[in-house]
Structure 1
């Protein structure tokens, strides 16, 4: 990989990981459309580490409260709202973790294509538009139920299919289940942390077993660029989501999906 490839792909990862437009699709497309070489396992680990550091850093105070309340709940104190939310996040992670463990190789072999990305980009873009229009948008994050958390977690499992968008499908599900846009975005970001940790750990194990030579300079650059861009996205997206809704991202997905269908069908 050249430095230009590293900068562009790391920026794409940082900008798209937490926006509802699919980071996996944007990392796959340069090789499909521009003929760029596959970025390799090491780069995937690096840019996911960057986005993980960004979301953990942004929610650091809240994560400390959640962790503390969760630990106290293990000792019998289960009446804290933060402990309930922590358990919902952990249980909501299970569907994607299980589906990823069972189907990751199958998805990687058969579904990482521009045609699949085009279809999922369009289909889940339209579903996101429906949720943005029809969701009740009344439930704050503090009132989220275990049932809602598990259903959003099931939706997160679908995001393993390239082009779906993890943040897009989880916010879509959360809006359809009645959460406010701000609550849907916040829960989506918090729910991303355990699954990014698990995915990064899985990719790291593959990297250890791989003969791939690691260019540490390029990897550090990828971490830095993905971290900075993801941090900016989280900050501005949370401020803007209640005001602008999801329609700009729906429009982007429809345009991207249509162009991909024209180009690859």
Structure 2
């Protein structure tokens, strides 16, 4: 074994020196463009796996496995792991890293070199994962998460590490200062809660922002005749100009302020309210009134 290859620590995880050695061997320089911040701390990895409640019965979808720190932690539970990696060098290297560190777990890993935003629902490489666990790139965290929830109905839960500000938005209830588009759209699929903070010091390179964990548990979408797409169009319109009343904010969606007011009243919603006061069921109720608006 050369000095640049990973060692095999008793815990079956990458050490900080392993992470840096792997990056050097692969000539990988973490980039802001791909949102790459690698986790160095084994305690953080074990904490993520514990909070995610992963068991050997799970098929875990991991987006952005990077050098494999979290991948190894997930495999240690006995679960199957499908790791989707956009960086070709990292995707090619990950099976070898797992084979070195945890050879018995290697058959339970499948690496998919792809953009997680383009994977279709019927991709046989992905199968039917039961949970999503990932250190999501900060710049695409919300769209990646929403895409996975939309295309993979088998996902019963998710635990994602994201920028703290994004975590607050995903878990925010209606009426709170941070409630917005991510909060409402995530609520269509799941109940989201903040599951703790993560120190900047556990990453390499150290990011300029704080991180946090968000736990999401799948639930049934609102009972409505409106489609998800129609409901999300109302959400987008309502928050495009946060300071405006719904009557004003939905003018473009409805075609006029009067039509927006008619749709809102038909849905049983006060037109003078702002979008941050409504939950996803109320947005769906407005979407049902598209004919009134149109």
More helix by share: 1
Compute the TM-score of the two structures, normalised by the length of structure 1: 0.24
TM-score, with length taken from structure 2: 0.22
The structure with higher relative contact order (CA 8 Å, sep 6+) is: 1
Larger radius of gyration: 2
